[in-house]
Amino acid sequence: MAAGSGFGNLFRVTTWGESHGKGVGVVVDGCPAGLSLCEEDIQIYLNRRKPGTSKFTTPRKEDDRVEILSGVFEGKTTGTPISMVVFNKNQKSQDYSEIASYYRPGHADYTYDCKYGFRDYTGGGRSSGRETIGRVAAGAIAAKLLKEMGITVEAYTKSIGPAKTPEEIECYLEECMERNDSAGGIIECVIKGMPAGIGEPCFEKLSANLGKAILSIGAVKGFEIGDGFFAADSTGLTNNDAFYYNNEGKVEKKTNHAGGILGGLSDGSDIIFRAAIKPTPSIFATQETINKSGENISVNIKGRHDPVIVPRAIVVVECMAAITILDALLMNMSARVEHLKKFYER
Amino acid sequence: MAAGSGFGNLFRVTTWGESHGKGVGVVVDGCPAGLSLCEEDIQIYLNRRKPGTSKFTTPRKEDDRVEILSGVFEGKTTGTPISMVVFNKNQKSQDYSEIASYYRPGHADYTYDCKYGFRDYTGGGRSSGRETIGRVAAGAIAAKLLKEMGITVEAYTKSIGPAKTPEEIECYLEECMERNDSAGGIIECVIKGMPAGIGEPCFEKLSANLGKAILSIGAVKGFEIGDGFFAADSTGLTNNDAFYYNNEGKVEKKTNHAGGILGGLSDGSDIIFRAAIKPTPSIFATQETINKSGENISVNIKGRHDPVIVPRAIVVVECMAAITILDALLMNMSARVEHLKKFYER
Amino acid sequence: MAAGSGFGNLFRVTTWGESHGKGVGVVVDGCPAGLSLCEEDIQIYLNRRKPGTSKFTTPRKEDDRVEILSGVFEGKTTGTPISMVVFNKNQKSQDYSEIASYYRPGHADYTYDCKYGFRDYTGGGRSSGRETIGRVAAGAIAAKLLKEMGITVEAYTKSIGPAKTPEEIECYLEECMERNDSAGGIIECVIKGMPAGIGEPCFEKLSANLGKAILSIGAVKGFEIGDGFFAADSTGLTNNDAFYYNNEGKVEKKTNHAGGILGGLSDGSDIIFRAAIKPTPSIFATQETINKSGENISVNIKGRHDPVIVPRAIVVVECMAAITILDALLMNMSARVEHLKKFYER
Amino acid sequence: MAAGSGFGNLFRVTTWGESHGKGVGVVVDGCPAGLSLCEEDIQIYLNRRKPGTSKFTTPRKEDDRVEILSGVFEGKTTGTPISMVVFNKNQKSQDYSEIASYYRPGHADYTYDCKYGFRDYTGGGRSSGRETIGRVAAGAIAAKLLKEMGITVEAYTKSIGPAKTPEEIECYLEECMERNDSAGGIIECVIKGMPAGIGEPCFEKLSANLGKAILSIGAVKGFEIGDGFFAADSTGLTNNDAFYYNNEGKVEKKTNHAGGILGGLSDGSDIIFRAAIKPTPSIFATQETINKSGENISVNIKGRHDPVIVPRAIVVVECMAAITILDALLMNMSARVEHLKKFYER
């Protein structure tokens, strides 16, 4: 709610921080008490979004070390807010006067100025990719708790541009870099071990909240669940998943076109969704744009750019999914009178 | 928030009602005071979701008349909650004992039972298409207010299955009906007249909220904005939209791959998005499923089904978009100190 | 949140309706599934706020019959929104042109006009006492569920003006009525059977939410818990409640100056709070005020006024307390990892 | 909403941190862009809650220096989250094994254990007075913005125990300290310069939100607005405030029994409220309580205690009021269609 930096209902995440400020961070309010948690649990996830691990990610060094400032006592979460921070160490003193004077195509420069009357032009401010650090730190906690419940969230690259295999992808990205261009791609995510019946009807459907979570990540332009856009071309006979009792008498579905969600609630199958990531807007090639003096100009944006952000966005997708799933599991605990009564009989 | 039947922050919509209960309705809290409003303003929108207007929609008669119960005084909204109701008139007393005994494939029967321990099995209960009546009634108000501000929201059928022209669509649907099957499709929506800078950064991006709004509609399996999934195959050089000053010195973009949203905020171009609608799960063909006695069975679902819901879903998409856009416009009013001061100087 | 007609997090109440519109009502979202509920359960509570039951309440007849429009199936709540309405039957066609022209002292006429630019002047609009019907209908559900859990909420008159016994009160009210004046009073409320540890730390303290719930009732000007304002005059030695183990080894307190809440969480003792109700602003005596033409005037307000609203407000206090307590109990279910895991092991 | 560490709708505050953790802090989301802000603006407020400034506050040294980590660029707020932290410097390594073994009377030790299954027993954890640092830092921003709009919030000691003048208070506190006892008191707060019509009807009344804000402060046991509990003893004739046009034609009231709020909305007069603060529960005198081994015991709590917290709570009351008032002013901007249209005509 409110000004946009908070997400979730009972597991509530609030992120803060700019690319070139003192740091970036997150406050997690509503994490249940009693979860074993240390900084290393978070760091493992943060390391996965680190640049510089291949020739297709920016060579800049981001040695992001997370600190837990509150909410953990003797190695366990206390139920009170967990504040985490990563101090920015790589703030090169740089001349931003040029970039401050014009609006980069494909970036939020122009729209931020329209909204706020001015903007923090150093490194993209709040619209920087570093904003995702807070999401990943919070998501690492959610994912850890889910794992203890037998629920796993795993995302991976489905395609980069038209390329689908490692060889094709390497080849395609080299072509992009040669012409100072960039690439997009598709990330797929699978959630295993979900109980059935999770989510809320109507506006808080699990699919709607997963969609919002993923579409709130900077470069995401599309979201689909199960067969997604392909389902629009299918028919009821094909698209309906037949229920059956398996040998142990457990309910299963013969197919999973629905992607694990029916009527907004989980159906006990794997939840599968995909996110479309646009090509990185920062490219070295010359581009047309406008400056703040009312002129149409050509620009060459300097700096360090990832030719593709898909590899680094994978962990962000996983983390946003984990936050959403955990929040839905917490919300669901109060769905039935019988559970409420049993809970308080203890 | 909460149990899922509310949507929006400042323009807050709460829907209620089941298909076969006494009625369906909505409470709109936070509609600004002073909007001319009468029942006919709402009725026009409700009529657009009415079945029975072509051979491809269900022949059942739904004579849905809306009543405004509160919040309007002498023809104008008062700023207090607007309660609207449509009483159900078409409740055929019917035998539901069969449908109560098994889970329809592609429906929410099974997942509702998993969540709540039982369900209202008459006509789908809360997961019925009639739930959208409240959304449309609320959206009609939002759309009216937007129109007075010069902002229009228009949705239309982009495709039905693989068919794109009226002739192809008619032909395709007839084929589907002949084999007791159903069809899905894609709805596209264009929002014109948006000011730039609307939306909130981070989790409340305009694109994320539009995505949630649309994905919360029953049969929607995918959402994309601008070039959407196609952008994943594009490159930065192509996908970036170049800014320029037009002849009047106004900022425009040479292309609109972004679909009118940059960094989660509107950029002043048309907002364009698409929704993938799955094929209607209710079909006349024989299907395999399970009953509640632990048996794998075959069923033929009786009743009246739309072979395709796309035509009736168009107005629902428009209405959810209108609610989202209006809410974002209201939220944005407090973005700058200078506006706050000017507002209270009066 | 939002425009003010909603209350609660997981048990979410949205009220609507004006005194002289078509009706008043409420939507309850998030009531757990499986509660036995019929209209009579609600009606019993509504009857308690009915006027005309003594010579000190307004002689106007309000035959308020509640209808449940949704959310109940075969006598049980389904977990989906419960919509309830009371249609207004007693709308005397009356001449409001005089009352529309001026601002009644002690009423919201002036402030509503300042906020919205105009107001529904018939019967007070949204600031009417009839707005509480929705609160009572929702609270009746909460109270019923609490009762099944062994938790009772009971409010009663503590004093009317300076009078404390029935004889004193009758005598005092007769004096007030003789001089066309009105009286205020204090309502006390006791909640028995609360488990310990309910509430949230920091801003969502149970005491803070009870305070907001009660202070949101029209005429309430003060709220205190336990010893309340008296505690300000006490000392730590007296005010601290000593814990001890009783004969069954259960934790109890020797005194209850805290009123059952420590650090914002219930401590297992009775929760006790009081609300100060101001004298009814509508009186027959001549009063000075202003009209909308810029003149200072004297007015005699006609109509039917309660000389004291305390007796009718008792059930409203109970109901707001019940809503708050139930919401806190639902929120608390996700406080510990061990409970979460156990819940989903089933 | 959520787990309790967030407050406000559009001006949204999330606090975190424990007494003996690494630090305490706050994230302010939704502060309008363009406010001049530096650390000194915050520090001035924090210094006011500092202990050790008189013989009646704890002699422990808390050299709390605030750091702004985000949301301010070139001396102005950017509209994005403002993260502020005060690192804890005074963490004496101390033996907490004794205090961990029992429950202090009047503290949240027992209730936290009931809720979470265990607690951070070092220095009170989240229920410590240091939690208010985040509130004060956020409130300092709100107060600064309000001041620029001509609105001031000022709180002061009304009484300490039964004492009202400085001499009486000094004498009373010395008596308390001599017998190892502590004192409570009443804080009064006046808000000047409020426009009329601010607040929301029904559940989000300005009085209700002020009440919640103040009652969420640790030791507050009562809240009253205007005449408050005294109004319960008054009559309509006396308690109603007569409106009149003053010499400049401006609407004023002859009295202000209402305390500046009518029907939940500000009426343009000064807003006046009072908070009852209980005596500090930490006292040196011997007290009876229980330990975790099931025994009734006597304890002498060591450490450094304020004999009265009223002087240090004054700035907390001011800050919570400022946050509430600013949030209400922001919420009110979208109340009328005419304002919305005018805003977007620019």
Q: Confidence band (pLDDT; 50, 70, 90) for D126?
A: confident
Here the tokens at position C246 are 């009783």
At A118-156, the pLDDT tens digits run 888 887 778 888 999 999 999 999 999 999 999 999 999
At B312-340, the pLDDT tens digits run 999 999 999 999 999 999 999 999 999 99
Chain B hits for C71, CB-CB cut-off 8 Å, are 16, 18, 21
Q: Return the ∠ at Cα D173 (arms to D171 and D174), rounded to 5°.
A: 65
When pLDDT is averaged across residues D303-322 and rounded to a whole number, the result is 93
- pLDDT value at residue D341: 96
Q: Confidence band (pLDDT; 50, 70, 90) for B95?
A: confident
Out of B21, B34, B76, closest to residue C69 by CB: B21
When pLDDT is averaged across residues D311-337 and rounded to a whole number, the result is 97
Q: What is the pTM of this model?
A: 0.97
pLDDT above 90 for B99: no
Phi and psi torsions of B12, nearest 5°: -110, 125
Q: Confidence band (pLDDT; 50, 70, 90) for A304?
A: confident
- A164 Cβ contact partners less than 8 Å away, ≥ 6 residues apart: A158
Contact between C191 and C226 under an 8 Å Cβ cutoff? The reply is: no
Nearest to C12 by CA among C26, C22, C25: C26
Distance CA(D316)–CA(D323), nearest Å, equals 11
Nearest to D31 by CA among D96, D76, D98, D93: D76
- pLDDT value at residue B198: 98
Phi and psi torsions of B130, nearest 5°: -70, -15
Give the DSSP letter string of D265-308.
EE-SSPEEEEEEEPPPS--SS-EEEEBTTS-EEEE---S---S-
At C206-262, the pLDDT tens digits run 999 999 999 999 999 999 999 999 999 999 999 999 999 999 999 999 999 999 999
Here the tokens at position C296 are 């200072």
Q: Residue B211, SS3?
A: helix
Contact between A194 and A151 under an 8 Å Cβ cutoff? The reply is: yes
Contact between D24 and D136 under an 8 Å Cβ cutoff? The reply is: no
CB contact under 8 A, C201 and D4: yes
Q: Which chains touch D (3 or more CB pairs under 8 A)?
A: A, B, C
Instruction: Give the dihedral sign, CA D118/D119/D120/D121.
Output: negative
When pLDDT is averaged across residues A265-278 and rounded to a whole number, the result is 98
- pLDDT value at residue C215: 98
When pLDDT is averaged across residues C77-90 and rounded to a whole number, the result is 93
- pLDDT value at residue D214: 98
CB contact under 8 A, B333 and D341: no
Contact between D321 and D214 under an 8 Å Cβ cutoff? The reply is: yes
- pLDDT value at residue C37: 98
Neighbours of B186 (CB within 10 A): 20
CA–CA min distance A126, chain B (Å): 8
Here the tokens at position B280 are 């209607």
- pLDDT value at residue D212: 98
At D66-92, the pLDDT tens digits run 999 999 999 999 999 999 999 988 666
Q: Residue B341, SS3?
A: helix
pLDDT above 80 for B1: no
CA–CA min distance D128, chain C (Å): 9
At A185-221, the pLDDT tens digits run 999 999 999 999 999 999 999 999 999 999 999 999 9
CB contact under 8 A, A70 and D17: yes
When pLDDT is averaged across residues C106-135 and rounded to a whole number, the result is 90
pLDDT above 90 for C152: yes
* C229: nearest CA partner in chain D: D276
Q: Return the ∠ at Cα D337 (arms to D332 and D339), rounded to 5°.
A: 60
pLDDT above 80 for A56: no
pLDDT above 90 for D334: yes
Chain D hits for A5, CB-CB cut-off 8 Å, are 27, 29, 80-81
At B6-23, the pLDDT tens digits run 999 999 999 999 988 899
CA–CA min distance C112, chain B (Å): 10
End-to-end CA distance of chain C: 35
Higher pLDDT, C70 or D96: C70
Chain D hits for A71, CB-CB cut-off 8 Å, are 16, 18, 21
Q: Confidence band (pLDDT; 50, 70, 90) for D125?
A: confident
- pLDDT value at residue D197: 97
Number of H helices, E strands in chain D: 9, 17
Q: What is the 3-state secondary structure (H, E, C) of A1-26?
A: CCCCCEECCCCEEEEEECCCCCEEEE
Q: Across the A/C interface, how many CB contacts are shorter than 8 Å? A: 81
Could you tell me whether strands B12-17 and B23-29 are parallel, antiparallel, or unpaired per DSSP bridges?
antiparallel
Chain C hits for A195, CB-CB cut-off 8 Å, are 344
Chain D hits for A137, CB-CB cut-off 8 Å, are none
Mean residue pLDDT of chain A comes to 93
When pLDDT is averaged across residues B262-289 and rounded to a whole number, the result is 96
Say what angle helices D310-332 and B337-345 make with each other, to 10 degrees: 80
ipTM of the complex: 0.96
* A1: nearest CA partner in chain D: D9
Mutation for A interface: B131, B203, B210, most A CBs within 10 A: B203
Here the tokens at position A3 are 């000004």
Contact between D198 and B340 under an 8 Å Cβ cutoff? The reply is: no
Distance CA(A37)–CA(A27), nearest Å, equals 15
- pLDDT value at residue B19: 85
pLDDT above 90 for B2: no
- pLDDT value at residue A273: 98
Distance CA(C73)–CA(C39), nearest Å, equals 12
Share of chain A above pLDDT 70, in %: 95
Contact between D24 and A27 under an 8 Å Cβ cutoff? The reply is: no
When pLDDT is averaged across residues A330-340 and rounded to a whole number, the result is 96
At A88-98, the pLDDT tens digits run 886 666 778 88
At C288-305, the pLDDT tens digits run 999 999 999 999 988 777
Mutation for A interface: D70, D97, D330, most A CBs within 10 A: D70
CB contact under 8 A, B78 and C1: no
CB contact under 8 A, B149 and D341: yes
CB contact under 8 A, A81 and D118: no
Q: How many CA atoms lie within 13 A of D149 on its CB side?
A: 29
- pLDDT value at residue C90: 66
Residue with tokens 């007393």: B93
Poorest-pLDDT segment among A50-54, B22-26, B37-41: A50-54
Out of B35, B201, B337, closest to residue D35 by CB: B337
- pLDDT value at residue A1: 54
Out of C228, C241, C265, closest to residue D222 by CB: C228
pLDDT above 60 for C59: no
- pLDDT value at residue C91: 62
Distance CA(B238)–CA(B243), nearest Å, equals 13
Q: How many CA atoms lie within 13 A of D77 on its CB side?
A: 27
- pLDDT value at residue A179: 93
Distance CA(A162)–CA(B230), nearest Å, equals 10
DSSP state of C102: B
pLDDT above 80 for B57: no
Q: Confidence band (pLDDT; 50, 70, 90) for B306?
A: confident
pLDDT above 60 for D59: no
pLDDT above 80 for A61: no
Distance CA(D277)–CA(D183), nearest Å, equals 9
Q: Confidence band (pLDDT; 50, 70, 90) for B93?
A: low
Distance CA(B224)–CA(D294), nearest Å, equals 61
Instruction: Give bridge partners of residue B189 from the DSSP assignment.
Output: B155, B273
- pLDDT value at residue D32: 98
Residue with tokens 């092991």: C345
At C37-51, the pLDDT tens digits run 999 999 999 999 886
Tell me the residue type at A162. P
At B201-242, the pLDDT tens digits run 999 999 999 999 999 999 999 999 999 999 999 999 999 999
* D127: nearest CA partner in chain A: A80
CB contact under 8 A, D184 and C233: yes
Residue with tokens 């207007």: B53
CB contact under 8 A, D32 and B201: no
Integer CA distances (angstroms), D272 to A162, C222, D275, in order: 66, 12, 11
pLDDT above 60 for B60: no
Distance CA(D345)–CA(D337), nearest Å, equals 12
Rg of chain C in Å (alpha carbons): 22
pLDDT above 90 for B91: no
Q: Across the C/D interface, how many CB contacts are shorter than 8 Å? A: 401
Out of A195, A202, A337, closest to residue C33 by CB: A337
